[in-house]
Structure 1
């Protein structure tokens, strides 16, 4: 597990590093600390990571710039901040959790458990993508469904556009809002655009969207999705 801490307060950075090493032990393959946005950007250009711990206020720099960029990246972000209002806003850009300062062992452990779980109930409003070296934020409400594409995914939008994103389906499932449902190892669907579930005589399943698109559905996901849709109607 490769971790980057972006924190300009040396005492806070050392404390977070110590707690992470105590809680994760040998799961950590590398752990690096950067004090500035510039240093962080340079490091991320050369080094892949799995998890970013980001302080939103870095000696005058505003961490939201890096946060928006990380929304298009392949790693997961956890915010560390003493400013609750800023942290709440950060959830719109796909952060996994907010750990308030001063960081306690118990609260950090809770955030790490969330990282290792597969259930996401976040308030993510945007997913970032890179187009021609520029960052573009796609509103999650405009996404019909998401399809696995090797280590990346494809986002299928209401307007018919298809774009690539660098987080895997598994990582996205941790940060997407609750209305996004896993229906297959290759698909996550925005529940708001589901028209019906189709069951063939042979026992295979499909999800039909309001656009008429039909997606294969895994048998293991059928009961949960059916119960969710029924509860929505009733």
Structure 2
């Protein structure tokens, strides 16, 4: 895994580095520490990452200025901050976890476990997805997303107005963030549960999730029974 720590206090950054190495062990491929928002922005543009550990107060600058950009990235973001009152806002923008300072190794390990898919409990509701445009970041409310289709290492967001947006996160990463609201009906699709009208069976034993707007989404054979019970 490739990890970036964005933290302006050397003592805390050193502690995060030590704990990260202890927790991830052989999983860790690279670990970088940066102190300023500007340097972090430049690094993120040029280097592939799996996780960013981000403080919200960096030499008086707000980590939220960086957060709005990083949540559009292909990696997960974990906030490490003393500003507990900012947790709800951070989760709304799609961070994976919020580790309050002072923290211990067990709490940081829990956050990493969620990032690698070992612990999906206590999912906090994201209210927005950030999408990269040519010269800006577009914030899309979750209520505008009907379903999500995997497209290799990217995903396609299908919206209520009939438009489509490309997101840098994989389907697996978005599933971690949106499991409270979306159902994995197929290896390539996440569907908003509240938009499913019925589960239909077509000729040739093809299963479909029929949405309220008439769109039909394929349902995996192994998913059919459990999903049928939810929408009978």
TM bucket, shorter chain: over 0.9
TM-fit CA distance, 1:202: 3.9
Q: 1:229 to 1:81 in 2, by over 3 A?
A: farther
Distance 1:114 1:140 in 2: 21
Partner of 2:155: 153
Distance 1:177 1:126 in 2: 14
Alignment partner of 2:138 out of 130, 136, 139: 136
Distance 1:68 1:111 in 2: 20
Q: What is the aligned-residue RMSD (CA, Å)? A: 1.4
TM-fit CA distance, 1:122: 2.5
Distance 2:107 2:203 in 1: 49
Q: Deviations over 1:52-95 (max 9, x none)?
A: 00001111000011111112111100010111111221000101
> Are the counterparts in 2 of residues 54 and 63 from structure 1 also a CA contact under 8 Å?
yes
Partner of 1:187: 189
For structure 2, the residue ranges without an aligned partner over 5 or more in a row are none
Partner of 1:37: 37
Partner of 2:52: 52
Verify: 1:72 aligned to 2:75, yes or no. Answer: no
> Are the counterparts in 1 of residues 5 and 33 from structure 2 also a CA contact under 8 Å?
yes
Partner of 1:113: 113
My pick for the range that moved more, 82-91 or 117-126, is 117-126
Alignment partner of 2:211 out of 206, 209, 212: 209
Alignment partner of 1:222 out of 217, 221, 224: 224
TM-fit CA distance, 1:201: 5.3
Distance 1:21 1:228 in 2: 42
> SS state of the match for residue 52, structure 1?
strand
My pick for the range that moved more, 93-102 or 118-127, is 118-127
TM-fit CA distance, 1:180: 0.5
TM-fit CA distance, 1:102: 1.5
TM-score (norm 1): 0.94
Distance 1:125 1:85 in 2: 17
Partner of 1:100: 100
Partner of 1:176: 178
> Are the counterparts in 2 of residues 94 and 125 from structure 1 also a CA contact under 8 Å?
yes
Distance 1:225 1:70 in 2: 33
Q: Deviations over 1:189-219 (max 9, x none)?
A: 0111111100235432110111111111002
Alignment partner of 1:196 out of 184, 198, 205: 198
For structure 1, the residue ranges without an aligned partner over 5 or more in a row are none
Q: Deviations over 1:131-186 (max 9, x none)?
A: 22211001111101001112111100000110101000011111115120101111
Distance 1:105 1:27 in 2: 17
> Are the counterparts in 2 of residues 16 and 103 from structure 1 also a CA contact under 8 Å?
no
TM-score (norm 2): 0.95
